[in-house]
Chain A
Amino acid sequence: MNIKDNIKTLIIEKPLKLDCGQTISNFPLAYETYGTLNENKDNAILVCHALTGDQFVTGINPITKKDGWWTYAVGPNKSIDTNKYFVICANVIGGCMGSFGPSHENPKTKKIYGTDFPVITINDIVNAQINLLDFFGIKKLFSVVGGSMGGMQVLQFVSNFPDKARTAIPIACTYSHSAQNIAFNELGRQAITADHNWLEGNYSTKNIVPDKGLAVARMAAHITYLSKKGLQEKFGRKLQERDDLKFGFDADFQIESYLRYQGSVFVDRFDANSYLYITRAMDYFDLEKQFHGNLSNAFKNTKTKFFIISFTSDWLYPTQENKEIVIALNAIGADVGFVEIESDKGHDSFLLDVPDFLKTLKNFLDQSFVENYNEN
């Protein structure tokens, strides 16, 4: 996917030393904004996207022509109210919506990077994003918000820049990718690299895509975003446009057809190598290890007000893992609120129409914003 005309891009000239040891500079960071930055520049919210998200948070995504990934939560009068707040979202580096990633050309070799692209981390992603604050002249964000991998970025952001955000909302995330999380990501990567179209990552030179592998990766991952109960209620054993089983391997069941569809639409919008790189960044995420086994130390110097949200049916980033972050923050007397929202929609709850979640997110932001003004 090449950079389209309607993708805003900030070229980051300043060298960025990556965790892998390489230094990158003059690289593009694609971003989008919603709402208006006020005169005091204190109403900005940085939204961090998850694995397969992009900078097009809400409204119609100009590339895919579909609704933005967080349309339920972000927009005029919504939880993250764009009448009130200035929302910024950047495509993560390693991604495929305009930010520096494996589908870009290596200026030295004049070839597409593919797997020559440096392995990036959540830390690198966040360190690239901070440049947007300078670009907009924002001294301090009102909030930094994100779910799943976006939540990991929120944690890393506050840890790296303890005085750059008044509030932080990590949602349905973890401070350390678990063995189960890594296992699912590895399954996805294996599906991609096993596709004979992958060509060691050089598929774009032949103008092909490892679409079968990428689709399987998406299908497997998609199951982990839902809950057993949610799947059962939505699909059960319902058959797909047929009255009886066909004694073959077509999609007899609606759930099969649904997953196949999810896989097929995904390959049209996502780059296989980006999938490898971003899942790797998630797997490498271990904030506790970064602070030598003491997660509290990651937040030692921050006055940021945290609000952590998890979901009852999320088994990918379960409540207990979110609670560990609360515990680490309480251990150092940090300002932290926490709630587990009741939902059958699994990990994906944060992206969907879950009224309790959307209401609570809005209430926290709006109340904190008022407080912010009273203090000033």
Chain B
Amino acid sequence: MKTEYKIIADMIENNSSVLDVGCDDGTLMEFLKANKNINIRGIEISKEKVQICIAKGLTVIEGNAEFDLKQFPNNSFDYVVLGQTLQAFINPELVIKELLRVGKKAIVTIPNFGHWKVRLYLLIKGTMPITNSLPNDWYNTPNIHMCTIKDFVKFSEIIGFKIFKSLALKNKNISNINNSNLFFKNLFGELGIFQIEKK
């Protein structure tokens, strides 16, 4: 988790404005605030989580990214961060488009459903994979739109956004993703971290 945060922090320049979409209890916001000189804000759907953020002195508004990002004008923030929540939206396509409208750049991290353990789980057990990062059963999971690193790369072509930087995280090892190693990164990467921009 900490490695993911560090990678995100490295992608963000100092003196920039950042919106954390689905900021949860504000852990990433706190990390970024402590390590970067930035102006950071959050939006979070859970009342309880918003209250936790407020108690940490973070500026957060209660809201649903699918409906409430539209209140922000174009390019309101230098960066918009979406950490491991794209798969929970009803309409991920709309959310990605909104991220790129509201932010000049967006940083999106996805739990990789293409990881070999996930594939093997389904192959051997024949039931929906349950892993450390995906602990729910199929009927009660908030993750309704799981995708793989490869899916996300393809998604960028379909939707028409530019992947500026893409990294795969395996244990604590970080590696670049490119066209030639995509097959392997998609098999061994646990998490994909993408910095994306409008075309």
**Chain A residues in contact with chain B, CB under 8 A?**
305, 307, 326-327, 330-331, 333, 335-342, 356, 359-360, 363-364, 367-368, 370-371
Please encode chain B, from 31 to 53, with 1 for each CB lying within 8 Å of some chain A CB and 0 for all others.
Answer: 00000000001000001001100
B56 contacts A367, C-beta separation under 8 Å? yes
Decide: A326 and B47 in contact? CB cutoff 8 A.
no
Per the bound structure, the CA–CA distance linking A338 and B53 in Å amounts to: 11
How many angstroms between the C-alpha atoms of A35 and B57 in the bound complex?
Answer: 24
Closest approach, in angstroms, between the C-beta of B163 and any C-beta of chain A? 27
In contact, A363 and B47 (Cβ under 8 angstroms): no
A363–B55 touching, CB < 8 Å: yes
- Residue pair B59, A337 in contact (C-beta under 8 Å): yes
B62 in complex: contacting residue of A339, A364, A370, CB < 8 Å: A339
Selecting from B69-77, B88-96, B103-111, B128-136, the interface stretch reads: B69-77
B60 contacts chain A at the CB level, 8 A cutoff: yes
Q: Are A367 and B62 in contact (CB under 8 A)?
A: no
Question: B142 an interface residue at 8 Å Cβ cutoff?
Answer: no
Q: Are B55 and A367 in contact (CB under 8 A)?
A: yes
Residues of A within 8 A of B63 (CB): 338
Residues of B within 8 A of A360 (CB): 51, 54-55
Chain A to chain B: the 10 pairs with minimum beta-carbon distance, closest first? A367-B57, A363-B55, A338-B61, A327-B71, A339-B50, A337-B59, A339-B62, A330-B71, A360-B51, A364-B54
Q: Determine whether the beta carbon of B54 is less than 8 Å from that of A363.
A: yes
Beta-carbon nearest neighbor of B39 in chain A: A335
A338 and B55 alpha carbons, distance in the complex (Å):
13
Which among A333, A340, A370 is the interface contact of B57 at CB below 8 angstroms? A370
B52 nearest in chain A by CB position:
A363
Closest Cβ–Cβ distance, residue B141 to chain A (whole Å): 25
Closest Cβ neighbor of A367 among chain B residues: B57
- Of B47, B54, B61, B76, which contacts A367 at CB under 8 A? B54
Nearest-Cβ distance from residue A75 to partner chain B, whole angstroms? 20
Question: Which residues 122-158 in B have Cβ within 8 Å of A in the complex?
Answer: none
Query: Cβ of A339 and Cβ of B54 under 8 Å apart?
Result: yes
Q: Which residues of B contact A364 (CB under 8 A)?
A: 54
B55 & A326 in contact (Cβ 8 Å cutoff): no
B84, chain A: closest CB distance, angstroms: 23
A326:B51 contact, CB within 8 angstroms: no
Q: Which of B47, B55, B59, B72 interacts with A340 by CB under 8 Å?
A: B47
Closest to B48 in A: A356
Q: What are 7 A-B interface contacts by the 8 Å CB criterion?
A: A305-B59, A331-B71, A337-B50, A337-B61, A338-B63, A340-B62, A367-B55
CA separation between A169 and B164, bound complex, in Å? Answer: 40
Contact at A330–B51, with CB atoms within 8 Å? no
- The docked-state distance in angstroms from the alpha carbon of A342 to that of B17 is 31
Complexed CA–CA distance, A329 and B41 (Å): 13
Q: Are A356 and B51 in contact (CB under 8 A)?
A: yes
